Chain A
């Protein structure tokens, strides 16, 4: 199934359409996104990306006729582990 992934990094945002199982885990999605950006396949995001750039990013998943994922920074705070 085609999944549209929106990625935000360093003040830039871009979309990446990929054929994948929408049930795949978050870590796999982070890895796919990192590789896609480095390969220059995400218009709008510069390919120069540090390793594990998305380590502290979360995936918001929107299911429907066109599954859409949003890869964005996590924003919790606090003394307790998240």
Chain B
């Protein structure tokens, strides 16, 4: 398992970041991407190990700092194997509807195939190519 972060503009993945089993470290480049695209970014999602479907203390202070720095509100989401939780403006919501990228972030986070990234599906390739344009 590794924590994965997606920065999203609507249904498109703007950036992907990989972390360890328990964290995604601070990275100046990630802040620069958020700052540059702050008026387009709609959602920032990341995965948690196991069934830890809650925003950690680290998550909450990051969310507060990014919104204070940008002056923008985003949808923040946690993904686990079985759960999908979002927060906006302090209000949390368990989401039942699954965007196309939910399966992709789970595969990147939890795929236990030895030493190999899972191959994207055709739909995932199409969405990623659209994002790269």
How many residues of B are counted as interface, with CB atoms below 8 angstroms from the partner's CB atoms? 34
Taken residue by residue from 1 to 37, chain A's Cβ proximity to chain B (1 for < 8 Å, 0 otherwise) reads as 0000000111110000000000000000000000000
Stretch touching chain A among B44-52, B86-94, B119-127: B44-52
Residues in A with CB closer than 8 Å to B58 are: 76-82
Complex: A73 Cα to B66 Cα, angstroms: 5
The verdict on B70 contacting chain A, using a C-beta distance below 8 Å, is yes
The verdict on A39 contacting chain B, using a C-beta distance below 8 Å, is no
Which residues of A, 51-81, contact B by the 8 Å Cβ criterion? 53, 56-58, 60, 70, 72-81
Complex: A23 Cα to B22 Cα, angstroms: 31
Q: Please tell me if the beta carbons of B31 and A77 are within 8 angstroms of each other in the complex.
A: no
Q: Please tell me if the beta carbons of B46 and A77 are within 8 angstroms of each other in the complex.
A: yes
Please list the residues of chain A having a beta carbon within 8 angstroms of any beta carbon in chain B. 8-12, 53, 56-58, 60, 70, 72-82
The verdict on B14 contacting chain A, using a C-beta distance below 8 Å, is no
* Number of interchain pairs (Cβ within 8 Å): 95
Complex: A80 Cα to B48 Cα, angstroms: 10
Q: Distance in Å from the Cβ of A37 to the closest Cβ of chain B?
A: 12
Residues in A with CB closer than 8 Å to B46 are: 77-78
Q: Please tell me if the beta carbons of A77 and B23 are within 8 angstroms of each other in the complex.
A: yes
Residues in B with CB closer than 8 Å to A82 are: 23, 25-26, 58
Q: Distance in Å from the Cβ of B56 to the closest Cβ of chain A?
A: 5
Residues in B with CB closer than 8 Å to A11 are: 38, 69-72
Complex: A70 Cα to B35 Cα, angstroms: 13
Residues in A with CB closer than 8 Å to B25 are: 76, 82
Complex: A72 Cα to B29 Cα, angstroms: 11
Which residues of B, 9-27, contact A by the 8 Å Cβ criterion? 19-20, 22-27
The verdict on B43 contacting chain A, using a C-beta distance below 8 Å, is no
Taken residue by residue from 64 to 78, chain B's Cβ proximity to chain A (1 for < 8 Å, 0 otherwise) reads as 111011111000000
Select which of A12, A72, A78, A81 is within 8 A of B31 by beta carbon: A72
Across chains A and B, which 5 residue pairs bring their CB atoms closest together, nearest first?
A: A11-B71, A78-B23, A73-B65, A56-B65, A73-B69
